[in-house]
Structure 1
Amino acid sequence: MANPRGSDVCNGSLHNHKEQRDNLKTENCTKNGIVQEIQQNEESQCHYKPLVESFEEAPLHVMVFTYMGYGVGTLFGYFRDFLRSSGIEKCNAAVEREEQKNFVPLYQNFENFYTRNLYMRIRDNWNRPICSAPGAQFDVLERVSDDYNWTFRFTGRVIKDVINMGSYNFLGLASEYDESMRTVKEVLEEYGTGVASTRQEMGTLDKHKELEDLVAKFLNVEAAMVFGMGFATNSMNIPALVGKGCLILSDELNHASLVLGARLSGATIRVFKHNNMQNLEKLLRDAIVYGQPRIRRAWRKILILVEGIYSMEGSIVNLPQIVALKKKYKAYLYMDEAHSIGAVGPTGRGVVEFFGMDPRDVDVLMGTFTKSFGSSGGYIAGRKDLVDYLRVHSHSAVYATSMSPPVAEQIIRSMKFIMGLDGTTQGLQRVQQLAKNTRYFRQRLNKMGFIIYGNEESPVVPLLLYMPAKVAAFARHLLNRKIAVVVVGFPATPLAEARTRFCVSAAHTQEMLDKVLEALDEMGELLQLKYSRKKNSACPELYDETNFELND
């Protein structure tokens, strides 16, 4: 889309500067994710390789039966509510207590109805308790319900060696203890379990400083700041960056922490279709041309919110084009790399490295330590003045308790392991093994005929189930075969797009993956889950972002 009037645009206003050349060009073209071409004039020019992603639509009959399933479930829900109110069905947990009958409802009617009559029927597939480290395999406590999943009781039996396909333990570091990790125990003995203070008061330790310096080095940026909770890293820091009079452009598939942070900021929020650059540019242009509603003043600033890997779709952000747009329109870019840091890129440095881009092109780099690093907490990294500003104005720095010392040490050990600072190449080998396992698992599922979403390089692999009855049957049957999976439905996904989300790990062996794939092949036949109509091809179908264009 051409720039209006042939001029560049600033963050909320127009400036008559000379139009810049293509923002996708860089001087060095040897990094991952780009292809180098030599022009006739001997000049080097870079072109980022296209994203290979798939978002295949389900056949019409599948969608019809899916909506019919929800419709039948809703009708039976109303019928059961009638039976309960009449005293015919005896389920004390589903009936309002006598002393609360005159109370104003605590929950919204639909949410309460959905939980009571639909979610409870399959509730046993969530919140399953485990009793071992969440490695490639773990132990699950068996439980049963005598009142249709309203309450559970343990049987005393432990299901041993269940293959874990649900934990986002991408590099397998959440379950291992070796000689290099002994320092975590030493830090626990020296510092204790907690700090009992905020970062601005008495809660900044030398371990926090060591970790922040290491994160900045790992990401190749000027500075970084760490926080005790990954979710709060987004929700408590976005309000410190934008406020009233600012505009947030948020991808429609952004995580709840980004959505909450945007809402808490008080800024105006406009949502663009996922990875749709035409839609994003249209919103940017409209923001520049029309300014703030009613008053028509220029926006104080424009902030684009995206994720590296989208946790429910397995999709990778189209970073090169977003960076080109943010430079063209002088907007700021905030990227959440919770699922991508440590998981993609030749050395595990995330989406920026995956595309071979400059970290300075992303104004705010955010990530968590809960996935690839086997710990907890999050970070924000970028320019030193940004980090210095957040140390003073961040709600997490002012009000939240600091990161636990042994947690910080675990992250330090894991990050040094990935960077090779432990004197070995095992960390790099883990990153490479994860990429190998991801490609193998995705390719096999595609050949079987399942509909799977996302990028071919993403270790987050959503497999579409659609029908609510199949969601429960899928998870229960696999657990009986000692395979643990995560199933997801409404409201975490669109109503008709229930799915299972696999998280591939470097700790998974070929034997484990083959066992899972064999079980999935059988389940696909049993439950009729092989909905894909694509023909197997050596050339995967490219993601067509124009399918998601908004109507004017």
Structure 2
Amino acid sequence: MANAGGDAFCNRTFHNHKKQSDGSPSGNCRKSGMVKEAQENGKPHFNHELMVESFEEAPLHVIVFTYLSYGLLSLFGYLRDFLRYHGFEKCNSAVEREQQRDFVPLYQDFENFYSRNVYLRIRDSWNRPICSAPDVRFDLMERVSDDYNWTFRYTGRIIKDVINLSSYNYLGLALKYDDSMRTVKDVLETYGVGIGSTRCEMGTLDKHKELEDLVAKFLNVEAAMVFGMGFATNAMNIPALVGKGCLILSDELNHASLILGARLSGATIRTFKHNDMQNLEELLRDAIIYGQPRIHRAWKKILILVEGIYSMEGTIVNLPQIVALKKKYKAYLYIDEAHSIGAIGPTGRGVLDYFGVDPGDVDVLMGTFSKSFAAFGGYLAGKKELVDHLRAHSHSAVYATSMSPPVAEQIIRLLKFVMGLDGTRQGLQKIQQLAKNTRYFRQRLKEMGFIIYGNDDSPIIPLLLYMPSKISAFARHLLKKKIGVVVVGFPATPLAGARARFSISASHTKEILDTVLEATNEMGDLLNVKYSHQGKSARPELHGETRFELND
């Protein structure tokens, strides 16, 4: 839960958000000849009408008041910084020693302006410790602040049975220990908790080999390699694939791990507008025509970096058109399925399954086990030559400690569950229930009059709040009703894009979702955040029809 907010912060620390001239995020899908090309190639093709993503604008007065609010906050922030600098107000944040003040600041004074003066005032809105499994309901440690949220102390009281809409437990598999986890306990007793070595030395176990074979089978590719950390899977492996003289075309809303990996590679990086295929094609065409800057030689490689589901917008990558462009311009495609693997597609195999795209059309498949599979770590998959190259050249394989054996067994167990290799259909039922819960929750929020971003099939549901004063108020009021929701604002989002973010799980029942919807509806009226131009549904009888589709 705390990680979710921090994860979101990193997304936009590296990339500024850009908008189209009409003011809406540039994620609207376009139909073009590339879609027809994908169909003519004989590949299964998903109905692109479902790719329509909602980026409704807020009323003008809301945007004006939002910018005014941030303007006033900044004005008072500069005033307080002035008072702190001259000793009239105590400074609680980290500062340089007196003899260092005239040199380069150690703590990046200007970059920390917002966190000193605004973020610290609202940071207690959610990132707080939990003391139970992150299931449908969890327990929270109560904390209070005596210095306006600079520091916190814990009261010793536990807030029990808080409804969890904040963790990425998409399939509802992050549970307390039960008999189904017996194999994990057995592996713990046999192998221990850790290995104390890297994959290239003494850190490869038979469990790692079993897991990699199962991942390759699940993704329908030749080979896969697993790593102990999802963030490092991107950050430490992209430099093994591209380098100086290569070009990376990166979606402007890509995750920080992708951006860090791209920067570490030494390759030239150019960003394209989010999910904007026309902009991507323009960059590809220019890269082919003009080549490298100054010398104008052809690029050694052109790598397109995208995500399956974007964790702050809830949008789904327009994969068929990207694949068509990749083939047309002979580029490489790297797709991060951290939030999509296990969460979408008829069999839970991510965006390739969702669109019916051949796995062979994507050069590098990346994903994590920390969300749908209730563990941690990540994988890279594709051709055997790719994986063999990574085993020898990956910084993560050479320098990072191997994945813990019990964690590997947990992933193996849940992969078999999702694939039906355990002899049941419960995994498939979880995937189907997640899809129903997602569409139901999104539809109800829209009918209530909230502005909701993202694709209808995305289990990440951003609800726009805009004004900074309403960020913490929204989360605190819901927490009083024992509902845990992540809220984020600038700089994790655009300045006028503060939002609450609901994460839907297959384990959420109709009663739980209706409880949250009722409380959210009440908060929307109390805080006046129902900004949608469309307003409430004119056919409330449809609500009952939608509810009937959900299983308890």
* TM surpasses 0.5: yes
* Deviation, structure 1 residue 308: 0.3
Could you tell me which residue of structure 1 aligns to residue 38 of structure 2? Answer: 23
> Is the 1:224–1:382 Cα contact (8 Å) retained in structure 2?
yes
Could you tell me which residue of structure 1 aligns to residue 372 of structure 2? Answer: 372
Q: What amino acid is the match of 2:294? A: R
> Is the 1:85–1:95 Cα contact (8 Å) retained in structure 2?
no
Alpha-carbon distance between aligned partners in 2 of 1:375 and 1:495, rounded to the nearest angstrom: 34
Could you tell me which residue of structure 1 aligns to residue 302 of structure 2? Answer: 302
Alpha-carbon distance between aligned partners in 1 of 2:94 and 2:353, rounded to the nearest angstrom: 51
* Deviation, structure 1 residue 124: 1.2
* Deviation, structure 1 residue 87: 4.2
**Paired residues for 1:450-465 under 5 Å:** 450-465=450-465
Could you tell me which residue of structure 1 aligns to residue 270 of structure 2? Answer: 270
Could you tell me which residue of structure 1 aligns to residue 409 of structure 2? Answer: 409
| Superimposed CA distance per residue, residues 479-534 of structure 1 (whole angstroms, 9 cap, x where no aligned partner) | 11111111111222111111111100011111111111111101111111011113
Structure-2 change in CA distance of 1:537 and 1:357 (3 Å): farther
Alpha-carbon distance between aligned partners in 1 of 2:508 and 2:103, rounded to the nearest angstrom: 52
Could you tell me which residue of structure 2 aligns to residue 39 of structure 1? Answer: none
**Paired residues for 1:391-430 under 5 Å:** 391-430=391-430
Alpha-carbon distance between aligned partners in 2 of 1:110 and 1:475, rounded to the nearest angstrom: 28
Q: What amino acid is the match of 1:334? A: Y
Counterpart of 2:110 in 1: which secondary structure? helix
Alpha-carbon distance between aligned partners in 1 of 2:93 and 2:378, rounded to the nearest angstrom: 38
Is 1:135 aligned to residue 135 of structure 2? yes
**Paired residues for 1:511-522 under 5 Å:** 511-522=511-522
Could you tell me which residue of structure 1 aligns to residue 188 of structure 2? Answer: 188
> Is the 1:338–1:367 Cα contact (8 Å) retained in structure 2?
yes
**Paired residues for 1:482-493 under 5 Å:** 482-493=482-493
| Superimposed CA distance per residue, residues 322-351 of structure 1 (whole angstroms, 9 cap, x where no aligned partner) | 001101111110000000000000110100
* Deviation, structure 1 residue 246: 0.6
Which has the higher mean CA deviation after the structures are superposed, 256-265 or 107-116? Answer: 107-116
* Deviation, structure 1 residue 80: 2.1
Alpha-carbon distance between aligned partners in 1 of 2:204 and 2:95, rounded to the nearest angstrom: 50
| Superimposed CA distance per residue, residues 301-321 of structure 1 (whole angstroms, 9 cap, x where no aligned partner) | 110000000011000000000
Alpha-carbon distance between aligned partners in 1 of 2:347 and 2:424, rounded to the nearest angstrom: 14
Could you tell me which residue of structure 1 aligns to residue 319 of structure 2? Answer: 319
Structure-2 change in CA distance of 1:291 and 1:522 (3 Å): same
> Is the 1:438–1:504 Cα contact (8 Å) retained in structure 2?
yes
Q: What amino acid is the match of 1:383? A: K
Alpha-carbon distance between aligned partners in 2 of 1:102 and 1:153, rounded to the nearest angstrom: 35
Alpha-carbon distance between aligned partners in 1 of 2:319 and 2:127, rounded to the nearest angstrom: 35
Could you tell me which residue of structure 1 aligns to residue 31 of structure 2? Answer: none
- C-alpha RMSD over aligned residues: 2.0
Alpha-carbon distance between aligned partners in 1 of 2:520 and 2:177, rounded to the nearest angstrom: 31
Counterpart of 2:51 in 1: which secondary structure? coil
| Superimposed CA distance per residue, residues 7-37 of structure 1 (whole angstroms, 9 cap, x where no aligned partner) | xxxxxxxxxxxx9x923434364xxx636xx
* Deviation, structure 1 residue 183: 0.6
Is 1:53 aligned to residue 68 of structure 2? no
* Deviation, structure 1 residue 119: 1.1
Alpha-carbon distance between aligned partners in 1 of 2:335 and 2:501, rounded to the nearest angstrom: 22
Alpha-carbon distance between aligned partners in 1 of 2:147 and 2:361, rounded to the nearest angstrom: 55
Alpha-carbon distance between aligned partners in 2 of 1:112 and 1:536, rounded to the nearest angstrom: 40
Alpha-carbon distance between aligned partners in 2 of 1:410 and 1:470, rounded to the nearest angstrom: 40
> Is the 1:24–1:324 Cα contact (8 Å) retained in structure 2?
no
Structure-2 change in CA distance of 1:28 and 1:276 (3 Å): closer
Larger Rg: 1
Counterpart of 2:353 in 1: which secondary structure? helix
Alpha-carbon distance between aligned partners in 2 of 1:379 and 1:94, rounded to the nearest angstrom: 37
Counterpart of 1:390 in 2: which secondary structure? helix
Could you tell me which residue of structure 1 aligns to residue 7 of structure 2? Answer: none
* Deviation, structure 1 residue 143: 0.2
Alpha-carbon distance between aligned partners in 1 of 2:373 and 2:443, rounded to the nearest angstrom: 26
Could you tell me which residue of structure 1 aligns to residue 547 of structure 2? Answer: none
In structure 2, the gaps of 5 or more residues are 1-33, 539-552
Counterpart of 2:389 in 1: which secondary structure? helix
Is 1:340 aligned to residue 340 of structure 2? yes
**Paired residues for 1:464-543 under 5 Å:** 464-534=464-534
Counterpart of 1:138 in 2: which secondary structure? strand
Is 1:229 aligned to residue 229 of structure 2? yes
> Is the 1:23–1:327 Cα contact (8 Å) retained in structure 2?
no
> Is the 1:84–1:95 Cα contact (8 Å) retained in structure 2?
no
Alpha-carbon distance between aligned partners in 2 of 1:135 and 1:528, rounded to the nearest angstrom: 31
Alpha-carbon distance between aligned partners in 1 of 2:396 and 2:183, rounded to the nearest angstrom: 27
Structure-2 change in CA distance of 1:298 and 1:537 (3 Å): farther
User: Out of 46, 53, 56, which is 1:34 matched to?
Assistant: 46
Counterpart of 2:40 in 1: which secondary structure? coil
Alpha-carbon distance between aligned partners in 2 of 1:23 and 1:328, rounded to the nearest angstrom: 11
Alpha-carbon distance between aligned partners in 1 of 2:267 and 2:506, rounded to the nearest angstrom: 40
* Deviation, structure 1 residue 105: 2.0
Alpha-carbon distance between aligned partners in 1 of 2:306 and 2:279, rounded to the nearest angstrom: 14
Alpha-carbon distance between aligned partners in 2 of 1:126 and 1:205, rounded to the nearest angstrom: 39
User: Between Structure 1 and Structure 2, how many residues are aligned?
Assistant: 506
> Is the 2:305–2:334 Cα contact (8 Å) retained in structure 1?
yes
Is 1:432 aligned to residue 432 of structure 2? yes
In structure 1, the gaps of 5 or more residues are 1-18, 36-47, 539-552
Q: What amino acid is the match of 1:221? A: V
Which has the higher mean CA deviation after the structures are superposed, 107-116 or 292-301? Answer: 107-116
Alpha-carbon distance between aligned partners in 1 of 2:252 and 2:86, rounded to the nearest angstrom: 43
Could you tell me which residue of structure 2 aligns to residue 153 of structure 1? Answer: 153
Q: What amino acid is the match of 1:34? A: F
| Superimposed CA distance per residue, residues 166-194 of structure 1 (whole angstroms, 9 cap, x where no aligned partner) | 10000011124332211111111111111
Alpha-carbon distance between aligned partners in 1 of 2:486 and 2:68, rounded to the nearest angstrom: 24
Could you tell me which residue of structure 1 aligns to residue 244 of structure 2? Answer: 244
Q: What amino acid is the match of 1:25? A: E
* Deviation, structure 1 residue 99: 8.0
> Is the 1:24–1:320 Cα contact (8 Å) retained in structure 2?
no
Is 1:387 aligned to residue 399 of structure 2? no
> Is the 2:50–2:456 Cα contact (8 Å) retained in structure 1?
no
> Is the 2:94–2:107 Cα contact (8 Å) retained in structure 1?
no
> Is the 2:339–2:371 Cα contact (8 Å) retained in structure 1?
yes
Could you tell me which residue of structure 2 aligns to residue 203 of structure 1? Answer: 203
Q: What amino acid is the match of 1:497? A: G
Structure-2 change in CA distance of 1:49 and 1:359 (3 Å): farther
Structure-2 change in CA distance of 1:459 and 1:244 (3 Å): same
Q: What amino acid is the match of 2:205? A: L
* Deviation, structure 1 residue 86: 4.8
Q: What amino acid is the match of 1:81? A: D
Alpha-carbon distance between aligned partners in 1 of 2:222 and 2:527, rounded to the nearest angstrom: 52
> Is the 1:83–1:89 Cα contact (8 Å) retained in structure 2?
yes
Which has the higher mean CA deviation after the structures are superposed, 249-258 or 115-124? Answer: 115-124
Alpha-carbon distance between aligned partners in 2 of 1:417 and 1:492, rounded to the nearest angstrom: 35
Alpha-carbon distance between aligned partners in 2 of 1:393 and 1:478, rounded to the nearest angstrom: 48
> Is the 1:24–1:321 Cα contact (8 Å) retained in structure 2?
no
Alpha-carbon distance between aligned partners in 1 of 2:255 and 2:95, rounded to the nearest angstrom: 34
> Is the 2:96–2:106 Cα contact (8 Å) retained in structure 1?
no
Alpha-carbon distance between aligned partners in 1 of 2:385 and 2:95, rounded to the nearest angstrom: 56
Q: What amino acid is the match of 1:253? A: L
* Deviation, structure 1 residue 397: 0.6
Alpha-carbon distance between aligned partners in 2 of 1:28 and 1:109, rounded to the nearest angstrom: 53
Alpha-carbon distance between aligned partners in 1 of 2:174 and 2:227, rounded to the nearest angstrom: 19
> Is the 1:171–1:372 Cα contact (8 Å) retained in structure 2?
yes
Q: What amino acid is the match of 2:336? A: D
Structure-2 change in CA distance of 1:298 and 1:152 (3 Å): same
